[in-house]
Amino acid sequence: MDDVDALARTVFGYPSLRREQRLALDPVVQGRDTLAVLATGSGKSAVYQLAGLVLSGLTVVVSPLVALQRDQLRGLAGRVRPDGRPVRAAQLNAAIHVDEARAARAAVATGELDFLLLGPEQLDRPATRELLTATARPCTLLVVDEAHLISEWGLDFRPDYLQLADARVALGSPPVLALTATASPPVQTEITRRLAMTDPAVVVAGFDRPNISLAVHPVRGGSDADHERADDTVVETVLAGPTPALVYAATRRHCEELATRLGQLVLRAAPYHAGLPAAERSATQDAFLGGDLDVVVATSAFGLGIDKPDVRSVVHASPPGSLDEYYQEVGRAGRDGGPARAVLVFNPSDLRLPRLFASAARVRDVDVAAVMAVLTRAGGPVPLEELGRAAGLGARSTEKAVDRIAEAGGATLHDGVVTPTPDAPPTTTVRRTHDAEQAREAVAESRIDAVRHYAETTLCRRAELLGYFGETYPPPCGSCDNDHRPPPLVFREPAHGAPRSVPDPRGVQPGTRVQHNLWGEGLVLSADPHELFVVFDSVGYRHLTPATLGNGLLHVLP
């Protein structure tokens, strides 16, 4: 760590490292697989940059967006090592000029490069893997930025991330550093499993962003008039608060409608979503970063690669699909440490859209059966693309079906080739994938229920939100809209001889494994005198109140 401190001062000009950066750096520089869940604005990029320089080889950084790659490349430009050699970094993606790509490949081949930033789809290409395995400077660290994208329980699942474990093997199995700002305990588990981490160090350094106030503005009803009233509330909320502001909406149409309404007032506003031309999206992003826009109304696609520290308001016009998603988007406010606010305009009827998205993500039994039929007929390895054509499925549906089959033990996927598992009966595989999909649906539904519980709770919102991530926060926080509500009922001691709730929440600590008679094993995320918040392996997130804790339904596991 002495080398790390010296590099932090001389190369990056940091007078000192933050505690959370040290916690993440220590296992990485020792060559250990590491998952670092660090709050937005805590300096995650500095962790991999310093670790890469200490380990001295080529650091390959998988980053999901070109904008994010460019931002990190700018952060490395002009840096000089203590020995006077410049830090060399490059990017490989479809957006760069052919000459820049040629120069980057040449620098990799000759071993001149310290950092290579690319997307997961680029790393999956045979030509890129061949280049990285033939380099004169072998890869000593694989960095997976925005690692929650590998998890279907995280925000904006990216199927390309599923190939990273294979890519790591192709690179010589270097240590992997996974970085994210949001990962609840189930997401953390899935990240380490999907990346095939060995005895990983999991560093979780505080989810709380105390400078962001939390509030919910409820709107009831499902009629057109109710939705119009909800939009009025969104507009009034933005007008009443400080800017710059981000407004998140669930659909492209809603983004454009709200941006138009806000733009007709005193604000400079623009929409942002994947349906707009790339040039228009880039112009909107540049204008927002440059201070020429007050508000961007966007789908969740906006903000992942944006480093704008002075966003003062984040307003959700629609409920997110999970609290993982909500926390990620809320975290884009107040990155400079100044006061900011997060407001959710909540209409329970709007939860039908996240439920629709969750249902659409389900892998159909018929797709699994079609893939298994092709594999059975082939009796051996089949290229993924060929497998999809033979099964009559699109590329995305084929990838999802193969992923489920692999999880059920019916096949393996390596370097784009699917190999059926010998002696694995197709009917058994289909049944296992069906059962797993039902469990996955139950968890997805529980995540949506957790959003509703956050929106409708009368308890401290900060304690509720942090509890979802397994972090205990003693209420009240002093900066949420529920602080002055009457306190809820608490557990009472049972009358003499009456059965006692097991366990009493006052005696259970977060991180405790428990067994429910109906739902099986689970992990306690938070506990207070009012309830337990538990994520169960089979049914997902559940808030357990006195009624659901009685009669010996729940037991603490040894």
**Rounded to an integer, what distance in angstroms lies between the CA atom of residue 265 and that of residue 245?**
15
168 shares its domain with 226: no
Q: Is the pLDDT of residue 40 over 80?
A: no
- 547 within a domain of the structure (yes/no): yes
- How much is the pLDDT for 227? 85
- Are 435 and 455 in contact by the 8 Å Cβ rule? The answer is no
Q: What is the mean pLDDT of the chain?
A: 86
**pLDDT > 90 fraction of the chain, expressed in percent and rounded:** 45
Averaged over 411-432, what is the pLDDT? 89
How confident is residue 105, by pLDDT bands cut at 50, 70 and 90?
very high
66-70, 241-245, 539-543, range with greatest mean pLDDT? 241-245
How confident is residue 546, by pLDDT bands cut at 50, 70 and 90?
low
The total domain count for the chain is 4
- 408 within a domain of the structure (yes/no): yes
Residues spanned by the domain of 478: 361-459+469-484
Q: How many Cα atoms within 13 Å fall on the side-chain side of residue 335?
A: 23
CATH number where 493 lies = 2.30.30
223 shares its domain with 167: no
Classified as helix, coil or strand, 60 is strand
* Short-list 400, 403, 376, 408, CA closest to 390: 376
63 shares its domain with 143: yes
- Are 324 and 155 in contact by the 8 Å Cβ rule? The answer is yes
Q: Is the pLDDT of residue 41 over 80?
A: no
pLDDT digits (tens, 9 = 90+) for 467-478: 888 888 888 999
Residue 16, judged by CB atoms within 10 A of its CB (0-12, 13-18, 19+), counts as exposed
End-to-end CA distance of the chain: 37
196 shares its domain with 281: no
Q: Rounded to the nearest 10 degrees, what angle do helices 66-76 and 44-55 cross at?
A: 60
419-428, 489-498, 539-548, range with greatest mean pLDDT? 419-428
More confident residue, 305 or 402: 402
Averaged over 71-88, what is the pLDDT? 87
* pTM reported for the whole predicted model: 0.79
110 shares its domain with 149: yes
* Short-list 470, 376, 472, 460, CA closest to 425: 376
Q: What residues contact 165, with CB distance under 8 A and at least 6 apart?
A: 194, 195, 196
**Rounded to an integer, what distance in angstroms lies between the CA atom of residue 250 and that of residue 430?**
33
Q: Is the pLDDT of residue 395 over 90?
A: no
Averaged over 274-286, what is the pLDDT? 86
227 shares its domain with 296: yes
CATH number where 248 lies = 3.40.50.300
* Short-list 535, 508, 503, CA closest to 522: 535
- Are 60 and 171 in contact by the 8 Å Cβ rule? The answer is yes
- 339 within a domain of the structure (yes/no): yes
290 shares its domain with 173: no
Q: Tell me which of 24-38, 84-98, 241-255 is least confident.
A: 84-98
State the alpha helices, DSSP H only, in 331-418: 352-360, 365-378, 384-391, 395-407
CATH number where 368 lies = 1.10.10.10
**Rounded to an integer, what distance in angstroms lies between the CA atom of residue 510 and that of residue 533?**
9
